[in-house]
Amino acid sequence: MMNPIQRRKSIQVNVDGVPVGGEAPIVVQSMTNTDTADIDETADQIEHLHLAGSELVRITVNNDEAAKAVPHIKEKLIARGVEVPIIGDFHYNGHKLLPGYPDMAAALAKFRINPGNTGTRARDKNFCTIIEQAIIHDKPVRIGVNWGSLDQQLLAERMDENNQRSTPKSSKEVMLDTMVESARRSSEIAEDVGLASDRIVISCKMSGVQDLINVYRRIADELPYPLHLGLTEAGMGMKGTVASSVALAVLLQEGIGDTIRVSLTPMPGDDRAEEVRICQQILQSLGIRSFVPQVTSCPGCGRTKSTYFQELADEIQQYITRQMPVWRETYPGVEEMDVAVMGCVVNGPGESRHANIGISLPGTFEEPAAPVYMDGEHYKTLRGDAIGEEFKRILMDYIERNYGQQKESGQQEEPVESSSEPVE
């Protein structure tokens, strides 16, 4: 199917070997929530996020201890063979930490600066100090405007001007205008100081979906730099996932966005990498990039005989997710595969034919048989108590045959033997 998305043209920025913008694939990124001063914990989480698919990982650099830890975190990751660019997130004191800890600055792949958090009276001077450090260390920066920490001085000036108008804009409109202005103004200052245009990424994050869409459409038109997309403070669980997905989907469909992050609030103990998987799923659902085989399953209905098909769909989805870090290396291309697990034969065979491999479990009053389809053809019908296990075996065999070594050598294996009946 032709992908109708026309990417917005932007300058390309190289983040330590990961291209962002231009023709480069849209990059998935995430951020740690460990204390950066804790070298082991932070290195572990960076590795975990990277293994889940995060192509850039951001860490906060908020004090002297964190700054001292950064080169050690980087060394640990290199020793483990983890090669992922690490981005330093600076607020309030980046103008002191970056010149004070040159090894930290050198170890980072990019600096994130929030122009609303570089000071009050000395905000431009401090901002320029960070830009000078980026130039000295040859690092790109993300100018990350955030409505929760918008440059208050600039906002107050624009609010005052608005109040003098005969027909003032709403305060929301002024705030959105100021977000765009802050991004534009900061990028102009950065270039004036000497930072090359291909060392600048921009974000203008907001927590409201319509506001985010509005402001990104404007910066996409007005600025030439790659855009980091994300709904800030998206919230928890389903709310955060849905809000982020709808906001990012609208913009990505319009070709806006060169790197994305989903800012979910995890419950204590939740897997931080969930935000990485959501980013991947957003891109894969839009047909932009493929990361993991997709499992199609029906919602079930009164025809569904038991919860068995839901359990099987869930089991297969989880199995695939767990295997992907290994499969990515051993079965290249497997991320394009579609698997269907359906509750009965009403839509089951049809959906299975459209998938690479699919199964329809028997519904109420249906014959206790589960037809399996492979590449659009009926492959065999499974019966008995071990349908799930057999289907997983057939699935693994299919993966091995189509994405493994055999594919390269052109060999084809015979279908696996099973206790089930042969193709009818």
Q: Which residues bind ligand SF4 (CB under 6 A)?
A: 298-301, 303-304, 342-344, 346-348, 363
Q: Which is nearer to ligand SF4, 298 or 395 (CB)?
A: 298
Q: Which is nearer to ligand SF4, 86 or 342 (CB)?
A: 342
State the minimum distance, in angstroms, from the CB of residue 178 to ligand SF4: 49
Whether the Cβ atoms of residue 45 and residue 37 lie closer than 8 Å to each other: no
State the minimum distance, in angstroms, from the CB of residue 362 to ligand SF4: 10
Q: Which is nearer to ligand SF4, 144 or 343 (CB)?
A: 343
Closest CA to 375 of 401, 405, 411: 401
Closest CA to 58 of 224, 260, 283: 260
State the minimum distance, in angstroms, from the CB of residue 225 to ligand SF4: 46
Q: Which is nearer to ligand SF4, 201 or 339 (CB)?
A: 339
Q: Report the run of H or E that residue 295 belongs to, with start and end.
A: strand 294-297
Q: Which is nearer to ligand SF4, 124 or 338 (CB)?
A: 338
Whether the Cβ atoms of residue 182 and residue 154 lie closer than 8 Å to each other: yes
How far are the Cα atoms of 28, 85, 253, 415 from residue 22, in angstroms, in the given order?
15, 19, 16, 44
Whether the Cβ atoms of residue 111 and residue 133 lie closer than 8 Å to each other: yes
State the minimum distance, in angstroms, from the CB of residue 310 to ligand SF4: 10
Q: Residue 107, CB half-sphere, CA atoms under 13 Å: how many?
A: 22
Token pair in block for residue 218: 């404007």
84-119: buried (b, 16+ CB within 10 Å) or exposed (e) per residue? bbbbbbbbebbbebbeebeebbebbbbbbbbbbbbb
The residue number with the shortest CB distance to ligand SF4 is 343
State the minimum distance, in angstroms, from the CB of residue 249 to ligand SF4: 25
Q: Which is nearer to ligand SF4, 226 or 348 (CB)?
A: 348
State the minimum distance, in angstroms, from the CB of residue 75 to ligand SF4: 53
* DSSP annotation of 421: B
Q: Which is nearer to ligand SF4, 105 or 344 (CB)?
A: 344
| CA pair distance 77, 273, nearest whole angstrom | 17
Q: Which is nearer to ligand SF4, 204 or 344 (CB)?
A: 344
| CA pair distance 120, 126, nearest whole angstrom | 9
Token pair in block for residue 358: 């699919």
State the minimum distance, in angstroms, from the CB of residue 370 to ligand SF4: 13
State the minimum distance, in angstroms, from the CB of residue 60 to ligand SF4: 46
